[in-house]
Amino acid sequence: MRWVSHAPRIRFVYFPMADGDDRWTTCHQHLVIAEVLLDRVLAAHTAGLRSMVPALDHAAEARALVRPPRGLFHAATLEYRRWYHADGTTRAQPLTQEALAMQLAVADGLSMEEARHRAARRSHALPAADQAWLIDRRNTSLQQRPLNQTEFHTLVNAIDGVWQSCAGTSHGERANRQIALRVAAMLGNLLDEYVASPFKVDALAQAFTERHLGHLRQTIENSRQAESTSGVLLTGPKAWFAAKSARMRAEHQIGLAMSPTAFPALQLTVRPVIAVVGGRLRTFVHGWRRGDSSVTQLATDFSAFG
């Protein structure tokens, strides 16, 4: 169990309340939730943990930690093999996607590509890094336990609530909004995998995204420098491959960030098809013979789409 006593803390501004005055009740609730969860984020980060993984929820934790009864699955299924040995004895921990894929390749003679596909799509096996994080998280004290998906969104909603409930012009309200902006940016800087901004408030979403993308780009640059440093080559190929792997992961995350958030608009084009009909060479466009008035109309209709 790790314990860090010198983790930094973030504190908001609270407002005085008279008897019967509930103006700041909701605001204070947001402040308390935000501070408690931020303490955990910063303590986990200081301890060297992944402080937040928004992609992993309670269901993923159950997949890694809750062993199903042996009789629930046939011995040939991937879920059985993930949790139990061939002789029926239990595994200390379930197989990860990588370990299950290797077993399928060795025991069943599958190609590694097919084995990885089956492990990822036909079982509840988790990637090794995610499973290790979930198990480590369960064994970490509450004060510095990293946030899963539910807790991450609870923190985000609290920060959104702080911004929305501090809409006045008093010094305390302006200070809380500035703190909320810095917190949103900090959260973006702590995530090594691309996450679309979860904030509803535009200003917070912009602060999160700008810092998040900047962090991913900086990771790429740092990895490039590590790859080209002679000291890394002297250390050995393992360090070089680690730097290269980190760069490739960051470039993949940047690619996810730059991809369109929705499917692109449908592009329709009119392509001519040439065929022999009645001994003559004919050109058809969208099922119509070229020269027909309907073809001209179709081309006009579709021209707006590309």
pLDDT tens, residue by residue, 11-40: 999 999 877 677 899 999 999 999 999 999
* Spatial CA neighbour of 31 closest among 183, 188, 198: 183
Pick from 26, 17, 34: which is nearest to 186 by CA?
A: 34
Predicted local confidence at residue 71, as pLDDT: 87
Residue 148 neighbours by CB under 8 Å, 6+ apart: 53, 56, 57, 58, 60, 61, 137
The pLDDT assigned to 17 comes to 84
What 3-state class would DSSP assign to 138? helix
Q: Would you state the pLDDT for residue 305?
A: 34
- Provide the token pair at 67: 């062993």
- The DSSP secondary-structure symbol of 266 reads P
pLDDT under 50 in the chain at which residues? 1-4, 230, 234, 262-271, 292-306
Residue matched to tokens 């290797």: 102
Q: What is the Cα–Cα distance from 99 to 127, expressed in whole angstroms?
A: 9
List the 272-277 sheet strands across, edge first: 272-277, 280-285, 288-289
**Structure-token pair, residue 250:** 């960051």
- Distance between CA atoms of residues 297 and 281, nearest Å: 23
pLDDT for the residue numbered 220: 76
Look at residue 108 and give its three-state secondary structure: coil
The pair of structure tokens assigned to 16 is 């005085």
Q: What is the pLDDT of residue 151?
A: 97
Whole-number Cα distances in Å, 140 to 4, 38, 73, 96: 11, 16, 31, 21
CA distance 158 to 137: 22
Query: What's the number of CA atoms in the CB half-sphere (13 Å) around residue 301?
Result: 7
User: pLDDT tens for residues 275-296?
Assistant: 555 556 565 555 555 554 444 4
